[in-house]
Amino acid sequence: MVSVLVTGGAGFIGSHVVDLLVDQGYGVTVVDDLSHGFLEYVNPKAEFHKVDICNQSKLGDVFEKEKPSWVVHQAAHIDVRDSVKNPVHDARVNILGSINLLECCRKYDIKKIVFASTGGAIYGEPEHLPAKEDQPEAPLCPYGVSKLAFEKYLGMYHQLHDLDYASLRYANVYGPRQDPLGEAGVVAIFTQKILDQETPLIYGDGEQTRDFVYVKDVAKANLQALREKTRDKIFNIGTGIETSVNEIYGKLRDLAESDTRAVHDKPVKGEVRNISLDCGLAERELKWAPTTNLNLGLQETIKWFREK
């Protein structure tokens, strides 16, 4: 059985990746320090290790014991606004912790690593939308810089050590298990507020646009990135469709049949105004395209939050 080690596998996206891999018959090991993940999200068929990726020796012990062939790297400090306040912590996890992982990949002869990068925080304000992968990189926050820095490490490890990689630049991922208590994840935050009959806060005028992609589609992109023969590539993973924050709020309100009213606050520094991602490369080379339309994905999300 091919064995895959998934970092951040107790988190929102990572736990869906783990479920899909288990479902497809892979052996899965999860590494997560549970700083932002939940043990209850970890598939019971996966081996779980509560380990901080910044702890090189403990991470090495997991590789030694589980002997994975592939690595999917989802663990990260994910909060854009917090990265502005606390750039050292962001860099410690997203750069140094990730280099620890690369060192394990090198020592334990890993065949391929798939990395959860960002399309929302790397391109800055792109000249053309939807943005392609060759759009100049211009991160506006420490989180974007740390993700980009690690992509550069991946390129360098490929050159130096022949480690294959695929870096997936996700758009705004949403769906069941997203944390509504953090500052990232507008769909989860709005959904929880709407269901609790509280007043959601929209930063700025709400006309800023995002590319919303459903988490199970993102999990499939990770699977395809492992399966397809790509040696050293970066892929956008989104829908190519721009939706404004006001529109998302309106849709959630309608689908949940709620009469809550959002209030507006000042815009947040470090966040882009408009973004959507061209995913033609993933379609051609990973044989991947999103299949869940926004209304269906939002319905599934509301359903999960209601049941929770």
Residue 160: CB minimum distance to ligand NAD, A: 23
Using CB under 6 A, pick the residue from 14, 27, 175, 176 that binds ligand NAD: 14
Q: Is 123 a catalytic residue?
A: no
CB 2 within 8 A of CB 70: yes
Residue 225: CB minimum distance to ligand NAD, A: 13
219 binds ligand NAD (CB under 6 A): no
Whole-number Å distance between alpha carbons of 291 and 288: 9
Please choose, from the candidates 142, 25, 124, 20, the residue with its C-alpha nearest in 3D space to the C-alpha of residue 74: 20
Which structure tokens are listed for 138?
Answer: 């211009």
211 binds ligand NAD (CB under 6 A): no
> What part of residues 81-110 is at the interface with ligand NAD (CB under 6 A)?
93, 97
116 binds ligand NAD (CB under 6 A): yes
Whole-number Å distance between alpha carbons of 51 and 106: 19
x/- map, 153-172, ligand NAD, by CB under 6 A = -----------------x-x
CB 183 within 8 A of CB 81: yes
CB 155 within 8 A of CB 300: no
Q: What is the DSSP letter of 285?
A: I
x/- map, 28-67, ligand NAD, by CB under 6 A = ----xxxxxx--------------xxx-------------
Q: With respect to ligand NAD, which residue has the nearer C-beta, 2 or 95?
A: 95
130 binds ligand NAD (CB under 6 A): no
Q: Which helix (H) or strand (E) holds 120?
A: none
12 binds ligand NAD (CB under 6 A): yes
130: cis peptide before it, omega within 30°?
Answer: yes
Torsions phi, psi of 255, nearest 5?
-65, -35
Residue 132: CB minimum distance to ligand NAD, A: 17
26, 41, 143, 170: which is the annotated catalytic residue? 143
Contacting residues for 182 by C-beta, under 8 A, at least 6 apart: 36, 78, 79, 189
Residues that bind ligand NAD (CB under 6 A): 7-8, 10-14, 32-37, 52-54, 74-78, 93, 97, 116, 118, 120, 170, 172-173, 179
The catalytic residue positions are: 143
